[in-house]
Copies of this chain bind each other. A is one copy, B any other.
Amino acid sequence: MSSQSTEGENLHHVVIIGGGFGGLNAVKELKNAPVRVTLIDRRNLHLFQPLLYQVATGGLSPGDIAAPLRAIFRKNKNVRIYMAEVQSIDTKNKRVLCDKITVLYNSLIVAAGSVNHYFGHDEWRPYAPGLKSIEEALDIRKRILSAFESAELTDDEALRRKHLTFVIVGGGPTGVELAGTVGEITHYTIRKDFRSFDPQTARIVLVEGQNRILPTFPEDLSNACERMLTDLGVEVMTGTFVTKITGDEVTLNKESQETVIQSKCVLWGAGIKASPLGKMAANNNESILDKSGRVKVEPDMSVPGCSDVYVIGDLANYPYQDGTPLPGLAPVAMQEGTYIARLIKARLNNKSIKRFKYVDKGTLATIGRSRAVGTIWKIKFRGFIAWFLWLFIHLMFLIGYQNRILVLIQWAWNYFTWAKSARIITHVYEHAPSDQAGDK
């Protein structure tokens, strides 16, 4: 443990927790400001979450959608980066206590994001991984690809069906993207790869509790999305709730009717909640947390009663626009990050700036090759044009020129060959494979 000091110690010190979209934009906006900036993250990378499902489905490698934080901020001389895990926030003494270091702040921006939420059923977690980190994406990739490998190895037809049944829980963009891509894999990518079965016979079920998938999208786009998924062989079950998940089956409930699906591969895209850091930022004051654990911030994004601590992104409940909290989307976090940095700069000059206003440029969800739906500036798109816009926008916002080139090449390659060349299974064994008996 040590309390680090640095040159320019008399400068206002902005500490930012989390190198996601919110934190990254705050650091960028503070580039030439007369402040010291410290960015704390437990990872050494910024992850481009919107493409994480492509890592999970073998289309891209983790390195393609991650950028080292030190590389991003190499030229920001006023930035220090600590790879450390925050243990607690001491708002009284204005310091952040990490596992290996303690950092004093003048202003603190907490942008720690969200984690998977199993609605009180944490026992489902081992059987139904969510998609929030590189490790989870690789775990999902391993489960999807291993299911086909296991199906090839058995001649027990019932067991094979169990391996070839995929249940994706949650009909939001993550669930839709996963289901669509698994459909694409079975119908195209690996169609001719196996000898004991036809991958096209795989069953893919997308379960959504509300009465339509993509419930935050316009209704006709939800319907278009459902048709596109059906074309790819995905069964869409709306108004349906999961009541039980084991390693062998999923129990569903629709209008009090129970159905049991035999499946060894369940993927979770159903819910997220705030990172536990929200509670720390709120000084353990539960009354300013909402049901999902997000901090109910003031209009200036500060924590009630703590004007030098700001909470942004997925971790914030910011209801000042139309009454409902802003959604947990990358553009919200990005705009909030930029705003809060401007606010801090203004306050240092004893100035004030206008209240934050989120500019909703639209959202897109992709269902697979050439298929997507979404709205941009309130114009609805679907099909190839939506998909093309999706590609373009995601490439544009991806961090790092090299990543953009690598992703573009792989997309082009996958488009023309139908392949997904990153469909390699890693971390199969807990120990390093070469240390064990086995066929290399």
| A421 cross-chain contacts in B, Cβ below 8 A | 63, 67-68, 71, 400, 402-403
Q: Is the CB of A434 within 8 A of B20?
A: no
Q: Is the CB of A2 within 8 A of B432?
A: no
| Centre residue among A111, A129, A153 by max chain B CB count within 10 A | A153
Which positions 66-109 of chain A face chain B at CB distance < 8 Å? 66-68, 70-71, 74, 80-86, 100-101
Q: Is the CB of B70 within 8 A of A130?
A: no
- Is A173's beta carbon under 8 Å from chain B? no
Q: Is the CB of B70 within 8 A of A190?
A: yes
Q: Is the CB of A19 within 8 A of B112?
A: no
Partner of A133, one of B60, B190, B192, B434: B434
Question: Digit string of A264-282 for contact with B (CB within 8 Å is 1, else 0)?
Answer: 0000000000011100000
- Is A419's beta carbon under 8 Å from chain B? yes
- Is A135's beta carbon under 8 Å from chain B? yes
Stretch at the interface among A35-43, A296-304, A361-369: A35-43
Give the number of chain A interface residues (Cβ < 8 Å). 96
| A101 cross-chain contacts in B, Cβ below 8 A | 153-154
- Is A174's beta carbon under 8 Å from chain B? no
Q: Is the CB of A153 within 8 A of B83?
A: yes
Q: Name the distance in Å between A237's Cβ and chain B's nearest Cβ.
A: 26
Question: Digit string of A123-148 for contact with B (CB within 8 Å is 1, else 0)?
Answer: 00100011011111011000001100
| Contact of A409 with B405 at beta-carbon distance under 8 Å, contacts A61-B62, A439-B277 already known | yes
- Is A32's beta carbon under 8 Å from chain B? no
| Contact of A139 with B432 at beta-carbon distance under 8 Å, contacts A409-B409, A438-B112 already known | yes
Q: Is the CB of B42 within 8 A of A153?
A: no
| A149 cross-chain contacts in B, Cβ below 8 A | 44, 83
Q: Is the CB of A425 within 8 A of B43?
A: yes
| A4 cross-chain contacts in B, Cβ below 8 A | 155, 196
| Contact of A44 with B145 at beta-carbon distance under 8 Å, contacts A410-B402, A432-B132 already known | yes
Q: A276-B437, A277-B440 are in contact. List 13 more A-B contacts (CB 8 A).
A: A2-B153, A4-B196, A61-B63, A62-B424, A63-B424, A113-B434, A116-B434, A130-B432, A132-B432, A133-B434, A136-B434, A277-B437, A405-B409
Q: Point out residues on A near B: beta carbons under 8 Å.
A: 2, 4, 6, 17-20, 23, 40-45, 60-64, 66-68, 70-71, 74, 80-86, 100-101, 111-116, 125, 129-130, 132-136, 138-139, 145-146, 149-150, 152-156, 190, 192-196, 275-277, 400, 402-403, 405-406, 409-410, 413, 417, 419, 421-429, 432-440
